[in-house]
Amino acid sequence: MSAKIGNQPALILKEGTSRSEGREAQHANITAALVVAESVRSSLGPKGMDKMLVDGFGDVTISNDGATILDEMDVQHPAAKMLVEVAKTQDDEVGDGTTSAVVLAGELLSKAQNLIDKDVHPTVVVDGYQMANGKALEFLRRLAVKVNPADKVMLRKVAKVALASKLVAEHKDFVADLAVNAVMEVSEKVRTEYKADVEDVKVEKKPGGSLTDTTLIQGILLDKEVVHPGMPKRIENAKIALINCPLEVEKPEFDAKLSIQRPDQMKSFLDEEEKILRDMVDKIAAAGANVAVCEKGIDDVAQHFMAKRNIMAVRRVKQSDMEKLVKATGGRILTQLEGVKASDLGQASLVEERKVSDDKMTFIEGCKNPKAVSILVRGGTERIVDEAERAIHDALCVVRDVMVEPYVVAGGGAPEAEVAKMMRTYAQKLSGKEQLAVQAYADALEIIPISLAENAGMDPIDSLMQVRAKHQTKSKWVGVDPINGKVADLAKLEVYEPLAVKVQALKSAGEAASMILKIDDVIAASKSKGAGPPKGPEESAKEEGEGES
Ligand SMILES: Nc1ncnc2c1ncn2[C@@H]1O[C@H](COP(=O)(O)OP(=O)(O)OP(=O)(O)O)[C@@H](O)[C@H]1O
Ligand SMILES: [Mg+2]
């Protein structure tokens, strides 16, 4: 790019760099972000559609989950990518509401575009939006209803709403129960508050059976089989050694030479190795362990000794699973076998290897008061278990959200409609162009009830008008009921969502919209040679050759 100083062109950017400025840049960014938002909008709500995504290898994903859809879409445009980030943040922070957040961000941008077209400066829009965002959060908190974080009935309702829009909706009662029980099990009460981490619920999936075969295990499920055929496959009252050192004789790291001259030397060498391994097993047995879970390898000879002593063992268990086993069984991770005591061992009422579909898995279950549990997801096909796993993730997250921050709002676009109403009243106090921006923010919020109605085949404008009218008469929880295709009071229908989900959606949508609106210059370097996909060795060799000539 160049500018002229006198007659001399002044080059400040590299050749090949592209640049767009001002309105043009803004317009391009907004359009790109809108395309992303529009692509997920039809999947919002219990009547939303699913998307089928096919990656470069031909692998198919079918999903309704905003974060998953956008992740699989592999968006390239930088502004569009920012909306993908919104979905990611939403997913990481609260686990649900990813589609809503992206749709909202898109609508905020679309309304902003209208204002910009009417010559409202983007900075004014951004300021207005930021003001409105702060107010919206305040209004939302004022609307929210406090609940008892240990109220299973309420938690189940919230989980059911998160599941309503997923492939597993048919079995939402069943799955919601699993999610509530799982999170309650791993939660901890600290004075009056609860702490819970969904990471403590291990979700394993195996295609086969049906979704209703999905089970909650009071302990940890390992996708591992027992190492030796001679070992027991079922142990009751298990005392479990959680071992983090290899049950092998360490091999020298470098080329060490061992010179053996006589056959008896060889024998004594092997005997010594065997003795070391036997000692290891003796120590485990002496502590009273009848199950060994090892993060590292287990030598064949050690396996043999363990089998002889009726100890069941699995090896090469992931570190994250070892940590969960500590939480579930109450055992300690053993970094060496010297001085292992009975009190170091974990406990479970049953450890058993079972066949699940074609694979053997080890169930460590019946743990007393486990602080980590597992869910084994089953379902007809691989795609069903994949989507079921994502749905269970959403359900676990919303249950956690409510336990940690025990406030809920009704769903169906009711809170958005109510906040929009409050926002319009607030806007009247403002003057000038800021008022326009705050009003635009209020209008944008209504995209949620509009989309829910549209996706359910209802008349969106008509539904919105009915919702607005009801809100004027203090029915704050009136919104769209897509299941019955009506405008209704969602609190009466017991459709509740965590406040945390709505708060996060507003925050990240507002931030992303402001950030995109503030950009008035896009300077893009030309694609560097190295940026492409990795080249084969021949190709790069050829290029090098060319460089030399
Ligand atoms: N039974 C129901 N009646 C009315 N509205 C519902 C019902 N179930 C869900 N909803 C609404 O559907 C919306 C959520 O839809 P959906 O789960 O598809 O998207 P999301 O939660 O925003 O994103 P994602 O689940 O993909 O992370 C919320 O506004 C919620 O209130
Ligand atoms: Mg959802």
What's the maximum distance between 2 C-alpha atoms anywhere in the chain?
Answer: 100
Name which of 161, 183, 169 is nearest 494 in CA terms: 161
- Measured CA to CA, the distance from residue 164 to residue 493 in angstroms comes to 13
Q: Can you tell me which residue has the tokens 């391994």?
A: 277
Taking the centre of ligand 1 as the mean of its atom positions, its distance from the CA of residue 100, in whole angstroms, is: 8
Mutate to test the pocket of ligand 1, among 44, 389, 445, 506 (most ligand atoms within 8 A of CB): 44
Atom of ligand 1 nearest to the CA of 90: 27
Whether ligand 1 lies within 6 angstroms of the CB of 497 is answered as yes
Ligand with minimal distance to 502 CA: 1
Q: Which ligand 1 atom is nearest residue 91's CA? A: 27
Per-residue pLDDT, 30 = 87
Ligand 1: residue whose CA is nearest its atom 31: 411
Q: Which ligand 1 atom sits closest to the C-alpha of 68? A: 26
Is 401's C-beta closer than 6 angstroms to any atom of ligand 1? no
95 in ligand 1 pocket by Cβ < 6 Å?
A: no
Q: Which two tokens stand for residue 271?
A: 């005997």
Neighbours of 145 (CB within 10 A): 14
Would the CB of 290 count as within 6 Å of ligand 1? no
Is the separation of the CB atoms in 449 and 413 below 8 Å? Answer: yes
Q: Does 169 contact ligand 1 (Cβ within 6 A)?
A: no
Pocket test for ligand 1, best of 88, 91, 165, 483 (most atoms within 8 A of CB): 165
Q: Which ligand has its closest atom nearest to the C-alpha of 390?
A: 1
Is residue 212 annotated as part of the catalytic site, yes or no? no
Ligand nearest to C-alpha 91: 1
d(CA 342, CA 334): 12
Active-site entry in 61, 65, 200, 321 = 65
What dihedral angle (degrees, nearest 10) is formed by the CA atoms of 96, 98, 99, 100? 80
Does residue 301 have its Cβ closer than 6 Å to ligand 1?
Answer: no
Structural contact between residues 516 and 33, judged by C-beta atoms closer than 8 angstroms: yes
- CA neighbor of 260 nearest in space, from 273, 252, 269, 251: 269
Q: Which residue has the tokens 């004075």?
A: 191
For residue 98, the ligand closest to its alpha carbon is 1
How many helices (DSSP H) and strands (DSSP E) are in the chain? Answer: 17, 23
Ligand 1 contacts CB of residue 99 (under 6 A)? yes
CA distance 488 to 480: 6
> 350 in helix, strand or coil?
strand
Sign of CA dihedral 457, 65, 144, 420: negative
Whole-angstrom CA distances from 406 to 201, 214, 401, 403, 507 are: 20, 28, 8, 5, 19
Asked if residue 147 lies in contact with residue 154, where contact means CB atoms within 8 angstroms, the answer is yes
Listed residue (507, 482, 532, 455) closest to 104, CA to CA: 507
Residue 443 CB less than 6 A away from ligand 1: no
Instruction: Answer for the pair 409, 415: CB distance below 8 angstroms, yes or no.
Output: yes
DSSP bridge partners of 375: 203, 216
Q: CA-CA distance, 95 to 89, in Å (whole number)? A: 9
Residues 337-395: tens digit of each pLDDT:
988 999 999 999 999 999 998 899 999 999 998 999 999 999 999 989 998 999 999 99
CA of 157 to the centre of ligand 2 (A): 13
Cβ–ligand 1 distance for 498 under 6 Å, the answer no
- DSSP for 426-470, please give it: HHTTS-HHHHHHHHHHHHHHTHHHHHHHHHTTS-HHHHHHHHHHH
* Residue 310 neighbours by CB distance under 10 Å: 12
Q: Look at ligand 1, atom 5, and give the residue with the nearest C-alpha.
A: 412
pLDDT at position 241, please?
A: 96
Catalytic residue among 89, 99, 214, 362: 99
Q: Are 317 and 240 in contact (CB under 8 A)?
A: no
Question: Alpha-carbon distance 223 to 361, whole Å?
Answer: 5
The closest-lying atom of ligand 1 relative to the alpha carbon of residue 43 is 18
Query: What is the reported pLDDT for 284?
Result: 94
Cβ contact 384:213 at 8 Å: no
- Is 215 catalytic? The answer is no
The atom number, within ligand 1, closest to the CA of 497 reads 31
Q: Whose CA is nearest to atom 14 of ligand 1?
A: 45
Please tell me the distance between residue 134's alpha carbon and the centre of ligand 2 in angstroms: 24
Question: Which of 394, 401, 443, 481 is labelled catalytic?
Answer: 394
Is residue 133 a contact partner of residue 508, using CB atoms and an 8 Å limit? no
Find the DSSP H helices in 287-429: 300-308, 319-329, 382-404, 414-427
Tell me which residues of the chain have a pLDDT lower than 50: 530-549
50 close to 37: Cβ distance less than 8 angstroms: no
List 61, 68, 89, 98, catalytic entry = 98
Task: Name the closest ligand to CA 411.
Answer: 1
Whether 197 is catalytic: no
In ligand 1, the atom with minimum distance to the C-alpha of 96 is 27
Q: Is 264 a catalytic residue?
A: no
pLDDT (0 to 100) of residue 187:
94
Pocket test for ligand 1, best of 92, 100, 392, 467 (most atoms within 8 A of CB): 100
Residue type, 285: A
Alpha-carbon distances, residue 486 vs 11, 165, 446, 460 (angstroms): 62, 17, 16, 11
Neighbours of 353 (CB within 10 A): 19
DSSP reduced 3-state for 143 = helix
Torsion of CA 71, 73, 77, 79, to 10 degrees: -50
